[in-house]
Amino acid sequence: MNKSFRQSMAWLHTWAGLLLGWLLVAIFITGTSAYFREEITLWMQPELHDSTLQPATVELAMAALNAKASDAKSWDISLPGARQTAAELRWQPAKQPEGGGRRRGEQMLMDADSGNIVEPRATRGGNFLYRFHFELYGIDRLWARLLVCVATMFMLIAIISGVITHKKIFKDFFTFRPGKGQRSWLDAHNATAVLALPYHFMITYSGLLLFMTLIMPWGIDAAYENDRRAFFSEAFSRGEDAARPGAPAEMVAIGPLIEQTEARFGKPVERIQITNPNRDNAQITLRVNRDPAVTDRQRGGDPTQVFQGSNGELIETRIPANDEVSPGWRIYNFFSSVHMARFADPITRWLFFLFGLAGSAMTATGMLLWVSKRTQKLRRDQQPDRALKMVNGLNMASITGLMQAIAAYFLANRLLPVAVEAREDREIQVFFLVWLASLVHGLLRPHRQGWSEQVAATSLLWLAVPIVNIFTTNSHLFSALAWQHPAIASFDLVCLILAALGGYTLWRLQRKPEPAKPRRARTPRSATVSTPQSKPAGESP
C-alpha cells in the first residue's frame, strides 16, 4: 500500500511540476528580483544617482511644492533613504479631473542637493519584473492573476508530493554526484529543494493567501451582497478626506517639528504629509519607519506625530500596536510581510534573494531531470520525438532565455535614446523579442548544441551590462558615485557574478563529452538456432 501510494505521489509530483513548470520558473525568477525592485529602478534611472539627502532638503521640497501646487488639497514628501536617492513629491490638485476613479494625484522627483526638479529617463524599472511576477504582461489582469494562482497551486502540490515521494530526501541532501547525468540532476533537485524547503512552502502558501479574495470570494460576496468594492473600501480604508476649504494662512517652519518628532521616536523622519497646505486648518503629519519586524506591519501604519500647521501645536501622537487589529488581520499581515520581505533589513533581503534563487534552481532542475530521464531511454539510433524536442526548447526559453531577456532589458535601458517616444514600452518590447528569439532557437537547435549556445549568449549579455554602463553613465564600478550608493555598485557586481556563473556552466558543457545512448539490446544466444558441428577426428561420440 505504501509503495502504491508513493508511486501515485511520484506521478502527481512529476506532472504537477511539468505542466506549468515553465511558468513557475518565470514566476520564481522575476519574483526573486522583486526583493530589490527599488534598487533595480534606481540603477535604471542614472539621472538620480548623484542626489543625496541634505539638511535643507525638506525646505527645498516645501518651496518646490509651493511653486508647483500652492492651492493643492494635500502634499506628500518622501525623503531620500537607503533605497532611493531623490525626494519624491506628490500632491492632490484642488480640482480633480473629470471622470472619477482612483485619485492618484500628481508627482515629481526633486534632486535632494540642489532642489531642482529632475526628469529621469522613462522606464518601468524593477516594477515591470515585480508585476510580471503575479500578473504577467499583455493579457487581462484578472485572467493573468488566475493563471498565476493555478500555477502556484500546482507548485504547492508538487512540494507536498515531492516530500512524500522522496523518503530519503533529507539524507540525499548531503549527496551530490557531479557528472552523472540523471543522477546529478536528481541530486541538484533534492539539494535545492531541501536547502530552503520552509521558504518554498512559505512563499507558495503566502502567495495563494495574498489572492484569497480572488480564488475564494464567496464569503465576501455573501457578507457584502456581491459588492466587493464595499469590502475593499472598508478593509483598506485610508480614512476620510481631511482636505476642506480654509482661510489662507502661513504655515509654521517645519524644521522644529521634525526635530521634535525625531527626538520623540529616536529615528529620522522619512515622510511628510500636509493636508490643506497654506490654510489656517492645515495639518502636518510626520512619519518615521518602524523597526524591521515580521509581526509589526499592521494597518495602523508607522509611528506618527500630527501638528497644527498654523501654529505648530501637537495634535496627536500615534504608536500603532498589535491589539489595534483583529487576529485575522495579524495573520494576513504576517504572511504578506514575509512573502514580500517588507520587514527585512539588507542582510535578510539578501538571504531571501538566495532562497529565491534556490527555488528557481529547484524548478529548473526538475524540468531538466524530466528531459534527462527520457533522453537516456532512447536507443543509440533513435532520435527524440517532437514532444521531447518541444520540452527541450521550452526548457531553454524558460531558463536561459528568460535570463537573456532580463539582461537585454537592462541593456535597452542604457542603449535606447533617452528622448525616444514611449521609451518604457520599447524596453519591454526588447525583453519579449529576446525571449521569443531564445524560444525559436531552442526549438531549432539540437539539445546539447542549443544549450551551449544559449548559455554562451546569456553569459555575454550579463557581462555586457556593466561594460555598457561604464560607457553610458558616470555611476559605474570604477566611479566613486556608484560606491556612494551601495545599491548601484551591487547591481553591477551581481551582473558580473551571473556572467561568471554562465561562463563556468559553458566550460562544463564544453568539457563534458556527449553522453552515450544505451546500445540496442542484443539477442540472447540461447534464442539463436545453431547448426550441428562435426567433431574432430579421434574424439569419442
Looking at residue 474, the DSSP 8-state letter turns out to be S
Tens of pLDDT, residues 192-211: 888 888 999 999 999 999 98
β pairing state of 117-118 and 106-110: antiparallel
Render pLDDT for 158-185 as a digit per residue (tens, 0 to 9): 999 888 887 776 666 666 666 666 777 7
C-alpha cell at 369: 531531470
Task: Report the pLDDT value the prediction gives residue 534, as an integer from 0 to 100.
Answer: 43
C-alpha cell at 475: 555611476
Instruction: Note whether 442 and 455 are within 8 A (CB).
Output: no
pTM of the predicted structure, to 2 decimals? 0.86
CA distance 291 to 296: 8
* Whole-angstrom distance, CA of residue 540 vs CA of residue 411: 88
Handedness of CA 166, 171, 173, 177 (dihedral sign): negative
- Predicted local confidence at residue 508, as pLDDT: 85
Query: If you average pLDDT over residues 365-376, what whole number do you get?
Result: 83
pLDDT greater than 50 at residue 530: no
- The pLDDT, as a whole number, for residue 33 is 96
Distance CA 66, CA 496 (A): 45
**Cα of 165 vs its chain's centroid, Å:** 29
Residue 268 has which C-alpha cell? Answer: 529620522
**Mean pLDDT, residues 386-397 taken together:** 89
* CA dist., res. 406 & res. 383, Å (int): 33
Given a cut of 80, whether residue 515 has pLDDT beyond it is no
Q: Is the pLDDT of residue 444 over 80?
A: yes
Collapsing DSSP to helix, strand or coil, 503 comes out as helix
Contact 34, 126 (CB under 8 A): yes
- What letter would DSSP give residue 347? H
pLDDT digits (tens, 9 = 90+) for 394-424: 999 999 999 999 999 999 999 999 999 999 9
pLDDT band at 260 (very low <50, low <70, confident <90, very high): very high
**Rounded mean pLDDT, 432-461:** 93
Q: Which amino acid is at 260?
A: Q
Q: What is the mean pLDDT of residues 362-376?
A: 85
Average pLDDT of the chain is: 84
pLDDT category at 101 given cuts 50, 70, 90 is very low
For 110-124, write each residue's pLDDT tens digit.
999 999 999 999 999
- The three-state DSSP-derived secondary structure of 388-447 is HHHHHHHHHHHHHHHHHHHHHHHHHHHHCCCCCCCHHHHHHHHHHHHHHHHHHHHHHCCH
Which pLDDT belongs to residue 532? 44
Kindly tell me if the per-residue pLDDT of 537 is higher than 50: no
**Bridge-partner residues for 93, per DSSP?**
none
Residue 451: what pLDDT?
92
238: left (phi over 0), alpha (psi -120 to 50) or beta: alpha
Please check whether residue 151 is in contact with residue 20, taking contact to mean a CB–CB distance below 8 angstroms. Answer: yes
Return d(Cα 526, Cα 533) in angstroms, integer: 17
pLDDT in tens, 290-320: 766 555 544 456 889 999 998 999 999 988 7
Average pLDDT value for residue range 345-365: 92
**Per-residue pLDDT, 384:** 75
* Predicted pLDDT at 286: 95
Average pLDDT over residues 54-78: 93
pLDDT score for 237: 59
pLDDT interval class at 456 (50, 70, 90): very high
What CA–CA distances, in Å, run from 37 to 33, 429, 509? 6, 19, 32
- Confidence check: pLDDT of 87 > 90: yes
3-class DSSP state of 375: helix
pLDDT band per the 50, 70, 90 thresholds, residue 369: confident
Residue 242 near residue 275 (C-beta atoms within 8 A): yes
Q: What is the pLDDT of residue 531?
A: 43
Q: Which residue has the higher pLDDT, 509 or 129?
A: 129
Backbone angles phi, psi at 402, to 5 degrees: -65, -40
Residue 334: which residues within 8 A CB-CB, separation 6 or more? 294, 295
Three cell numbers, residue 361: 534552481
- Predicted local confidence at residue 150, as pLDDT: 93
